[in-house]
């Protein structure tokens, strides 16, 4: 799943919709419906809304080919993963030191939206989210 998550993220940013759909349909052990949904949500944060919407177009095509309907989408509010408070305290301190004086709202939004919500959603393991993040940033020519 790890390589497929990274591949899906990169293809969603770089290739044409038909090429993406062909690659995703052909992949054995493809990400589950829940994982694709979470990958696309993750892409919205790390590569921009437009890229995430491109991935949605691909997902719709792939799901239609697999006869997966909207009624099969997973619960939008699952219980979050437990937070590693020691790691989170270090992350908050680093982000606060780098950006807090100039962008305090960004520090708060990074904490609340990304690390206390997005990264704690259970359908993608933190390692898979990291791979999707690095793939998205690399495909966009950015660095993590």
Q: What is the CATH number of the domain that holds 20?
A: 1.20.1290.10
pLDDT score at 85: 93
- Count of CB atoms situated within 10 Å of the CB of 100: 14
Q: Please say whether the beta carbons of 23 and 11 come within 8 A.
A: yes
First to last CA, the chain: 21
Structural domain including 7 reads: 1-78+123-144
pLDDT digits (tens, 9 = 90+) for 60-76: 887 888 888 888 877 66
User: What is the rounded average pLDDT for all residues in the chain?
Assistant: 79
Distance between CA atoms of residues 44 and 141, nearest Å: 16
Same domain? For 38 and 50 the reply is yes
Asked if residue 127 and residue 69 are part of one domain, the reply reads: yes
In angstroms, rounded to a whole number, what is the distance separating the alpha carbons of residues 34 and 82? Answer: 19
State whether the Cα torsion 65-71-76-77 is positive or negative.
negative
Into how many domains does the chain fold? 2
Shared-domain flag, residues 87 and 21: no
Q: Tokens for 88, please give them.
A: 């989170």
Whether 17 has a pLDDT exceeding 50, the answer reads no
Residues 11 and 51 in one domain: yes
Distances (CA, A) of 104 to 82, 93, 100, 119: 25, 12, 5, 20
Please report the pLDDT score of residue 41 as a whole number: 86
> Which 3 state secondary structure label does DSSP give 136?
helix
pLDDT at 13 over 60: no
Q: Kindly state whether residues 40 and 103 are assigned to the same domain.
A: no
Q: Are residues 140 and 102 in the same domain?
A: no
pLDDT at residue number 16: 47
Q: What mean pLDDT do residues 26-52 have?
A: 78
- What's the pLDDT score for residue 29? 63
Residues 35 and 99 in one domain: no
pLDDT at 87: 92
């Amino acid at each position: 799943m790890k390589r497929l998550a990274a591949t899906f993220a990169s293809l969603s940013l770089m290739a044409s919709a038909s090429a993406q759909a062909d690659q995703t349909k052909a992949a054995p052990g493809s990400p589950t419906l829940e994982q694709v949904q979470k990958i696309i949500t993750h892409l919205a944060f790390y590569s921009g809304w437009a890229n995430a919407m491109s991935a949605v177009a691909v997902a719709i095509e792939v799901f239609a080919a697999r006869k997966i309907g909207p009624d099969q989408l997973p619960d939008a509010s699952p219980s979050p993963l437990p937070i590693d408070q020691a790691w989170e305290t270090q992350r908050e301190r680093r982000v606060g030191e780098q950006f807090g004086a100039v962008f305090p709202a960004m520090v708060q939004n990074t904490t609340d939206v990304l690390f206390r919500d997005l990264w704690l959603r259970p359908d993608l393991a933190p390692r898979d989210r990291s791979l999707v993040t690095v793939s998205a940033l690399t495909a966009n020519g950015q660095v993590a």
